[in-house]
Structure 1
Amino acid sequence: DMSEIVVVYELDKAVATSSSPGTPSGEERPVRRVHAAPAAPGAPSSTGPRTLCGRDTFAMETARWNPSEHPGASWYPAEYESVVCPECDAVIET
């Protein structure tokens, strides 16, 4: 069910560590990989502790993209199609 999926971005660590606290959230940091995570119980916009492929979501950035708001579209934003995690995608497709 798409409504229980939260899209998260695994950011490029080299850039993420050098960004200053005053930078707007995530927009200029390169996204290395797009993952899907199950929503936290009772908090549909928050991610659970692990992505569908088993990675820790702690350091990842939650996307503004919400799959349940885009019926018929992919679970991830189209502009990030080239960096979608194949494991997360496979879990969702089955």
Structure 2
Amino acid sequence: MSGIIVVHELDTPAPSRAADRSAQGAEAAVRRVHAAPAAPGTTTEPGPRTLCGRDTFAMRAAARTPPGEPGSPWYPPQEEGLVCPSCDAAMDDG
């Protein structure tokens, strides 16, 4: 599993004046967890697309790096319910 970066697709609610003021400094919630190949020449930056084909530009790299151990999940265990099914299937095929 080397060369895979776990990225978070963030939930970005529709902007409103009250929400903008109350959300300043607040961190966006994770909407979906994706897997992306590492960008060429790096092991810490995601490439331009996830394994399911989504653009990684607005995504945030997770603190977790897939361990590469057989049978271990590539995603953070506490985010299991947020895993992109297409990325998960691609990781199982790899």
Q: Report the TM-score, using the length of structure 2 for normalisation.
A: 0.82
Q: Deviations over 1:32-88 (max 9, x none)?
A: 1000000001111000000000000000010000013x6342000000000100000
Query: What RMSD over aligned residues (CA atoms) do the two structures have, in Å?
Result: 2.2
Hey, which of these two has a bigger chunk of strand by percent? Answer: 1
Matched, 1:34 2:30: no
In structure 1, the partner of 2:11 is 12
Structure with bigger gyration radius? 2
In structure 2, the partner of 1:45 is 44
Structure 2 unaligned spans of 5+: none
CA distance in 2, matches of 1:6, 1:79: 17
Identity among equivalent positions (%) equals: 53
Hey, which of these two has a bigger chunk of helix by percent? Answer: 1
1:40-79 mapped onto 2 (5 Å cutoff): 40-68=39-67, 71-72=69-70, 73-79=72-78
Q: Report the TM-score, using the length of structure 1 for normalisation.
A: 0.82
Structure 1 unaligned spans of 5+: none
Structure 1 stretches of at least 4 aligned residues deviating more than 6 Å after TM superposition: none
CA distance in 2, matches of 1:53, 1:13: 20
CA distance in 1, matches of 2:80, 2:10: 15
Q: Counterpart of 1:40 in 2: which secondary structure?
A: coil
In structure 2, the partner of 1:83 is 82
